[in-house]
Amino acid sequence: MKKSTYEKLYSDNNYIKYLRENSYWYKNLNRNPESIEKMIEEMKERYGLRFKDKIDKAKTSLDLINAFMTVTKDN
């Protein structure tokens, strides 16, 4: 594996965790180090780390708070 790929992987614990859970990426990264961006996108999608996922989580939290406040307001 190229040193730059190795350094990028070890720059974030989520990258290492995903790599260990999906070991087929070791072979892919050894053969094609440029595929690291594809692995990172796949990891972000799986772990819900994309911007869209963060917005959805915030919306869900706000909806839950709103529902809680509506219930407590009625009583």
Of 20-24, 42-46, 61-65, 68-72, the range with the lowest mean pLDDT is 68-72
Inform me whether the pLDDT recorded for 75 exceeds 70.
no
Segment 5-24 shows an average pLDDT of 94
How many angstroms separate the CA atoms of 27 and 30, rounded?
A: 5
Residue 54, token pair as written in the block: 């963060």
Residue 31 is predicted with a pLDDT of: 94
**SS3 for 32-44, per residue?**
CHHHHHHHHHHHH
Residue 33, token pair as written in the block: 């180090």
Residue type, 46: R
How many angstroms separate the CA atoms of 51 and 63, rounded?
A: 18
User: In this predicted model, what pLDDT tens digit does every residue of 27-64 receive, in sequence order?
Assistant: 999 999 999 999 999 999 999 999 999 999 999 999 99
Residue 58 is predicted with a pLDDT of: 94
